[in-house]
């Protein structure tokens, strides 16, 4: 790092931490990085940085140049992820890692993903400027291919790094816009899918002491509460039904008395009400839960104002940080489905479900982030993450993990993502001082 220390020693130096001016410089560095990223990947409206695209490469190059300028070592893994390493005094100690992804959705915002890398760089630059010397390595990782819109598998880049992507996926998954395989895109970028298919593993959980990911909040909670940052308690797991159907019988809307109807829509409404009732109960008990019937349709070729609907299709996405709660909800729903089927004389088929486990964040790391937010006078709250993040991959490997959310005005995955630079600047000391504690 910048050798401001006149002795130029490599020993761990006690440091009071960066000054306010050093934090302001670091925040200004972040603003410049965001501007460079937006200019390079502009695709009005918004930005586009597809996984394994020229724009994602350029985003990594911008981060790498910045890291090199503050004295960090630059390397890549065979999956194309970038590692920016500030060497610690004892390199045999497990490292502190931070980072996030730098791809975006098509016509997305500039901050989803990139903010995690930029905040890591800003924090490192502030610490370096203060003369702080880490006792162990700090590694900022710019992770490839996180956005599901490009390759339809969660956390592609971080799972590749841990050897968790099934070998067949490299030639099976195709990018949504090009139709070409993941392996093909990787080879084009100069990476080595064949080594990974053969079982190579880039990251060893035993060599990582902690992973911290900063990310914009993807909902309106912090903005509505007037809080600049959130300390994530867990990344919600999910239980999803993609192919729910309710089958009844089409009938005349006037001629058929209630007791002779097999009404798929009223049965569907009863199912929604049941989920509402369950949700009310969880809210009252302070338990984490969200549920969404994202699709809920009668058949436009068959339905009409004057017909009882004979068929309804729906999706149901339920999420919670509590795995037991998802199991409990699933059991309650299955019981409700039987009752609703009988009551409306229809067949309710939830269809197959998929499940993803919640990832709990490390209580000790959460406490440090909260303490540093309080010390810096930054309004904050503890909250669950509704969206999935690479951090879940690290937590799933048994690595102590934590996330810091940054307030964002307009949701994410859209051109209007709104991370205010004053909120970014407020997050810099919180994140930098947390890293400093972990690296001391
Ligand atoms: Zn993201």
Helices (H), 307-402: 323-344, 363-375, 391-396
Q: What whole-number percentage of the chain has pLDDT above 90?
A: 94
Q: Which residues surround ligand 1, an ion (CB under 5 A)?
A: 112-113
413 CA to centre of ligand 1 in angstroms: 8
Over its C-alpha atoms, the chain yields an Rg (Å, rounded) of: 25
Flag whether pLDDT at 330 surpasses 80.
Answer: yes
15 CA to centre of ligand 1 in angstroms: 33
Q: Are 136 and 88 in contact (CB under 8 A)?
A: yes
388 CA to centre of ligand 1 in angstroms: 8
217 CA to centre of ligand 1 in angstroms: 9
Q: What pLDDT band is residue 14 in, cutting at 50, 70 and 90?
A: low
277 CA to centre of ligand 1 in angstroms: 32
Question: How large is the average pLDDT for residues 381-396?
Answer: 96
Dist. CA 80–CA 190, nearest whole Å = 8
73-76 and 95-101 beta bridge pairing: unpaired
101 CA to centre of ligand 1 in angstroms: 6
104 CA to centre of ligand 1 in angstroms: 8
363 CA to centre of ligand 1 in angstroms: 22
3-state SS, residue 252: strand
Flag whether pLDDT at 253 surpasses 90.
Answer: yes
Q: What pLDDT band is residue 6 in, cutting at 50, 70 and 90?
A: very low
390 CA to centre of ligand 1 in angstroms: 8
283 CA to centre of ligand 1 in angstroms: 27
Give the pLDDT score at 2.
45
146 CA to centre of ligand 1 in angstroms: 7
User: Hey, what domains does the chain have and what are their CATH numbers?
Assistant: 20-235+358-439 (3.40.630.10), 238-355 (3.30.70.360)
Flag whether pLDDT at 207 surpasses 90.
Answer: yes
Flag whether pLDDT at 27 surpasses 70.
Answer: yes
Give the torsion through C-alpha atoms of 73, 435, 41, 106, to 10 deg: 120
For residue 439, the Cα-to-chain-centroid distance in whole angstroms is 24
Burial label for 242, CB within 10 Å (0-12, 13-18, 19+), is middle
Dist. CA 204–CA 127, nearest whole Å = 26
Dist. CA 439–CA 96, nearest whole Å = 7
353 CA to centre of ligand 1 in angstroms: 24
Flag whether pLDDT at 4 surpasses 50.
Answer: no
Angle (CA) 365 103 1, round 5°:
55
For the chain, the residue count is 440
Segments of 268-411 assigned E as strands: 290-292, 296-298, 307-308, 311-320, 347-349, 353-356, 359-360, 380-385, 401-406
218 CA to centre of ligand 1 in angstroms: 9
What are the b/e assignments for 201-225, b being 16+ CB within 10 Å? ebbeeeebbbbbbbbbbbbebbbee
Contacts of 376 (CB under 8 A, 6+ apart): 426, 429, 430, 433
pLDDT (tens digit per residue) in 228-242: 999 999 999 999 999
389 CA to centre of ligand 1 in angstroms: 6
Question: How large is the average pLDDT for residues 383-409?
Answer: 96
76 CA to centre of ligand 1 in angstroms: 20
Give the pLDDT score at 356.
87
158 CA to centre of ligand 1 in angstroms: 12
In angstroms, the Cα distances linking 28 to 56, 124, 286 are: 22, 13, 40
Flag whether pLDDT at 7 surpasses 90.
Answer: no
Give the pLDDT score at 262.
98
Dist. CA 175–CA 112, nearest whole Å = 20
pLDDT (tens digit per residue) in 143-185: 999 999 999 998 999 999 999 999 999 999 999 999 999 999 9
Flag whether pLDDT at 91 surpasses 60.
Answer: yes
Dist. CA 349–CA 264, nearest whole Å = 11
263 CA to centre of ligand 1 in angstroms: 41
pLDDT (tens digit per residue) in 100-134: 999 999 999 999 999 999 999 999 999 999 999 99
222 CA to centre of ligand 1 in angstroms: 17
Q: What pLDDT band is residue 354 in, cutting at 50, 70 and 90?
A: confident
114 CA to centre of ligand 1 in angstroms: 8
273 CA to centre of ligand 1 in angstroms: 32
48 CA to centre of ligand 1 in angstroms: 13
Q: What pLDDT band is residue 291 in, cutting at 50, 70 and 90?
A: very high
Give the pLDDT score at 1.
46
- Give 201's strand partners: none
Mean per-residue pLDDT of the chain: 95
5 CA to centre of ligand 1 in angstroms: 37
242 CA to centre of ligand 1 in angstroms: 23
Give the pLDDT score at 411.
86
178 CA to centre of ligand 1 in angstroms: 22
Residue 51, token pair as written in the block: 């996984």
195 CA to centre of ligand 1 in angstroms: 27
Q: What pLDDT band is residue 77 in, cutting at 50, 70 and 90?
A: very high
Question: How large is the average pLDDT for residues 289-294?
Answer: 97
56 CA to centre of ligand 1 in angstroms: 14
Angle (CA) 149 155 159, round 5°:
140
112 CA to centre of ligand 1 in angstroms: 5
């Amino acid at each position: 790092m910048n050798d401001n220390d006149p002795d130029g020693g490599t020993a761990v130096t006690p440091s009071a931490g960066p000054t306010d001016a050093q934090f302001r410089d670091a925040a200004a560095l972040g603003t410049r990085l965001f501007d460079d990223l937006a200019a390079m990947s502009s695709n009005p409206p918004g930005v586009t940085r597809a996984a394994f695209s020229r724009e994602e490469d350029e985003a990594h190059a911008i981060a790498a140049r910045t890291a090199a300028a503050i004295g960090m070592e630059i390397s890549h893994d065979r999956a194309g992820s970038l590692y920016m390493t500030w060497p610690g005094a004892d390199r045999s100690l497990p490292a502190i890692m931070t980072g996030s992804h730098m791809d975006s959705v098509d016509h997305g915002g500039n901050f989803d993903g990139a903010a995690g890398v930029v905040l890591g760089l800003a924090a490192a630059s502030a610490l370096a400027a203060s003369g702080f010397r880490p006792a162990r390595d700090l590694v900022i990782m710019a992770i490839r291919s996180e956005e599901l819109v490009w390759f339809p598998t969660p956390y592609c880049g971080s799972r590749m790094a841990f050897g968790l992507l099934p070998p067949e996926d490299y030639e099976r998954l195709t990018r949504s816009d090009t139709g070409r395989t993941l392996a093909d895109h990787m080879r084009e970028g100069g990476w080595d899918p064949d080594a990974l298919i053969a079982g190579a593993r880039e990251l060893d959980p035993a060599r990582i002491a902690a992973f911290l990911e900063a990310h914009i909040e993807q909902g309106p909670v912090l903005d509505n509460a007037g809080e600049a940052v959130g300390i994530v308690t867990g990344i919600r797991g999910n239980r999803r039904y993609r192919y729910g159907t309710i089958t009844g019988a089409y009938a005349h809307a006037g001629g058929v008395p209630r007791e002779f109807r097999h009404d798929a829509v009223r049965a569907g409404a009863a199912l929604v009400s049941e989920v509402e009732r369950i949700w009310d109960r969880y809210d009252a008990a302070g338990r984490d839960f969200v549920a969404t019937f994202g699709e809920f349709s009668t058949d436009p070729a068959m339905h009409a104002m004057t017909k009882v609907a004979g068929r309804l299709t729906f999706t149901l996405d339920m999420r919670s940080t509590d795995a037991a709660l998802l199991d409990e909800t699933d059991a309650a729903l299955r019981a409700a489905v039987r009752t609703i089927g009988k009551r409306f004389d229809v067949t309710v088929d939830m269809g197959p479900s998929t499940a993803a486990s919640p990832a709990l964040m490390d209580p000790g790391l959460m406490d440090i982030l909260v303490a540093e937010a309080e010390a810096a006078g930054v309004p904050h709250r503890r909250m669950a993450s509704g969206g999935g993040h690479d951090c879940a991959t690290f937590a799933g490997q048994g690595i102590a993990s934590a996330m810091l959310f940054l307030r964002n005005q307009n949701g994410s995955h859209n051109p209007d993502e709104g991370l205010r630079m004053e909120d970014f600047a407020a997050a810099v000391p919180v994140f930098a001082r947390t890293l400093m504690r972990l690296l001391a």
